[in-house]
Amino acid sequence: MSPTIVIITVAAYFGLLMAISAIASRGSDNATFFTGNRKAPWAVVAFAMIGASISGVTFISVPGMVAAKGHAYLQMVLGFIVGYVVIALVLVPVFYKRNLVSIYGYLGQRFGRQSYRSGAWIFFISKMLGASVRFFVVCAVLQLLVFRPLGIPFEVNVLLTVALIWLYTVNGGVKTLIWTDMLKSACLIGAVGLCIFFVADNMHLSFGEMVNAVRFHESSRIFFFDDPMSGSYFWKQFLAGVFMAIATNGLDQDMMQRHLACRDSVASRKNMILSGVMQFFVIGLFLILGTLVVIYTGYAGIEMPAKSDELFGLVATHSSMPVAVGIIFIVGLIAAAYSAAGSALTSLTTSFTVDILDAPSRQGEKDLQRTRKVIHLLMSLIMAAVIIAFYHMSDSDAISAVYTLASYTYGPILGLFAFGLLSKRGVRDSAVPFVCIAAPAAAWLIQAGLNRYLSYETGFELLILNAVLTMLGLRLSGLFSVKSSDYVTKSI
């Protein structure tokens, strides 16, 4: 694909982003940036959350994973729906009742300052690494299609791209994100739908023939009940989906800041449940596209790439496809990437300013605005530095290691919140940081032992193991702390 076409596509999309950002950020202040003034319509947030839940890596990887794992991912997405219901019924009312700007403030109210800081720092490390890796994948694609043919170094690519994201999020914050996520959701659904149409049309398949081709293809298998030791086993995937949704949505400032922008907890609960159901159907479209892409490789004589992540892009930009498909692919990719990176920068800025610096309680409106903008720029520079570091040390193992680290770090956060909500006991606050480090270390040893001695393939249930070990550590630390009746009222 011509670099000129890609540049024009990116420029057009970014121009639309800036227009939406300018409209959404009118009259914005610190409350607009952090909470959107809690005026977002719940239906708008629900539709926006479809896009918010899908990153550039998801856009590329989900269709590609079909070749090896079929549609097994839907087993986990079914669990997501249950997880969203739990968030709506349990967490949302708690967060609204306590009027939290950052959800990690709950840990400070429930356990103490060290617990609060532990949750905030775990989120910071996990989100910065995870968001950087997701955006690294997109920068790598842009480098291949645009910057390398023009002789522009990868570092310049990253700095320019991150600068664009900083530019459209610096003023509006959460309010801007919600409306730009609306655009992202529309682009993603439209991109997947149009790609399905063009791939089927290139194979001269009618709608009915396409449905049958997908239905009877070996890659369209959804449910796996036959091997409990496998990572694709239904109950492992389903239960992991429940807890993964709770951890990566309900206990993630990046995701929850949108839900907390609704007028009240009732509206937020509606949007939470609706977005979970809609996400199931959108992921289903991605998987259908994946099966069609696999079928198309055989039809067009395209060799399957060594890495499944390259499959969608390989077919979309193949010479046998209309140029429109490549453009649609780029639009979907940058829509997913820009929104996800912008969202991460906003949530990192919020958490660092509120949780770690405690700036809102110590500064006036003008000073807080200045601090917030400095932190926002600092987060952007750190993200760019991490992406460039990945580029110079990147291989599949390094990237996989970062994703594994992210699954480890969400475990302690899940354990902290679960212990606080399900128990009326106190903890030794000073011991919480050590528990949050010891639990993942113990989980790693258990995982290695299960794999070596029992040939048990640990999947996303590793998150549950981390959470349980964290709760056990908190319980043990509580044996050395004094019980307080105040925790009875704070734990609900």
Give the contacts of 326 (CB within 8 A, at least 6 positions apart).
1, 5, 316, 317
pLDDT of residue 492: 39
List, as own/partner pairs, every contact residues 310-317 make where C-beta atoms lie below 8 angstroms and the sequence separation is at least 24, other chains included. 310/64, 311/63, 311/64, 311/67, 312/59, 312/60, 312/63, 312/64, 313/60, 313/141, 315/199, 316/195, 317/1, 317/145
Q: 215 or 336: which carries more pLDDT confidence?
A: 215
| 145-193 residue pLDDT tens | 778 888 889 899 889 888 888 876 666 556 666 777 777 778 888 888 8
Percentage of the chain exceeding pLDDT 70: 86
pTM across the whole model: 0.74
Residue 97's Cβ-side half-sphere holds a number of Cα atoms within 13 Å equal to: 12
Considering the domain 3-400 in this protein, what is its CATH number?
A: 1.20.1730.10
In this predicted structure, which of 102-106, 125-129, 308-312, 356-360 has the lowest mean pLDDT?
Answer: 308-312
Burial of 225 (0-12, 13-18, 19+ CB in 10 A): exposed
As a whole number, the mean pLDDT across the chain is: 80
pLDDT bracket for residue 212 (50, 70, 90) = very high
pLDDT at 35 over 60: no
pLDDT of residue 86: 92
One-letter amino acid at 101 equals V
pLDDT of residue 85: 93
Average pLDDT over residues 479-483: 56
| CA distance to 93, 418, 421, per residue, from 415 (Å) | 19, 5, 10
| 381-408 residue pLDDT tens | 998 998 888 777 765 444 455 556 667 7
